[in-house]
Amino acid sequence: MNRRALLGLAVGLTGALALGLNAAAKRGPLKIGEVVKAPVLRNIVTNKPLDLASFKGKKVVVGIFMQKNCGTTWKYYGKMGEIIKNYKAKGVEVVGIHSSSGETDDMMLSDLQAKNLNIPLLDDKKDQSLLKLVGANCSPTFVVIDKESKLRYTGSYDKFGSAPNYVPDALDAVLAGTPVKTAQTRAFG
C-alpha cells in the first residue's frame, strides 16, 4: 500500500472513530438494563489491564467511583468492606474506580490499604471514559453489573446515610434473579 493510500485510510479511520465517539457522547450514559461495554483500564494495584468483560458469566461486579479527597467516600469505606465481607463468597467482585484527575494513584492506593480494602482499582483519570459511560457524577457512586454485563443499579449506597440500603438490596435482587426494586438513585458526595 502506498503512502497516499495509508494516509487516506488513517484519515478515514480517525473520522469514523470521531463519529462513533460523538454519537456515544450525544447518546448519554447507559440506561438500566443495557450492556456495559466498558473500556479496558489499567488496574493500579497490579499495573496490568483489567477488562470488566472478563467477569461476564462468572461474577456480579460492584464498581465504586471514589476519590481520596472526598469526605463522603471516607464515610463509606466501612460499607465497602461490608460488601466485600458479605458478598464475595456469593460471587460478587468489588472494583474501585479512580476518576479524579487531581489525585495520584498512590494517594488512592494508600487510602484503600489503610482501610484493608484489597480490591482492584481501575485508572479512569485520563479521559474518564467509564465514569461517562455510566453517568457517575460524584464520589462515591456505586454501580452494579450483573453476570450478563448489564447495568442493574447506579447511584448512592443508601439514602443519605440511612436505610434503605440500595446497593445490598440491588445485590440481593440480582443474585436472586429478580428485578432490582430501586434501580437508580442520585449519588451524593
Return the domain boundaries, the chain.
Answer: 1-29, 31-176
pLDDT for the residue numbered 23: 40
Specify the 3-state DSSP secondary structure of 74. Answer: helix
Q: What region does 112 belong to: left with phi over 0, alpha with psi -120 to 50, or beta? A: alpha
Listed in order, strand segments (DSSP E) in the chain are 41-43, 48-50, 60-66, 92-98, 121-123, 141-145, 151-155, 158-159, 162-165
Sign of the C-alpha dihedral, residues 172, 175, 178, 179?
A: positive
Per-residue pLDDT of the chain (189 residues; tens, 9 = 90+): 444 433 343 334 333 333 333 344 445 699 999 999 999 999 999 999 999 889 998 999 999 999 988 989 989 999 999 999 999 999 999 999 999 988 999 999 999 999 999 999 999 999 999 999 999 999 999 999 999 999 999 999 999 888 999 999 999 999 999 999 999 999 998
Q: What is the rounded distance in angstroms from the CA atom of residue 29 to the CA atom of residue 121?
A: 21
- Provide the terminal-to-terminal Cα distance of the chain, rounded to the nearest Å: 54
Fold classification of 31-176 is Glutaredoxin (3.40.30)
pLDDT for the residue numbered 26: 45
Contact call for residues 69 and 27 (beta carbons, < 8 A)? no
Collect all residues with Cβ–Cβ distance below 8 Å to 171 and sequence separation of at least 6. 60, 62, 83, 87, 90, 92, 144
Q: What is the rounded distance in angstroms from the CA atom of residue 49 to the CA atom of residue 31?
A: 26
Contact call for residues 142 and 157 (beta carbons, < 8 A)? yes
Q: What is the rounded distance in angstroms from the CA atom of residue 104 to the CA atom of residue 123?
A: 10
pTM: 0.84
pLDDT for the residue numbered 154: 97
- Give, for 26, the enclosing helix (H) or strand (E): helix 3-27
- Helix axis angle for 166-176 and 77-87, nearest 10°, is 20
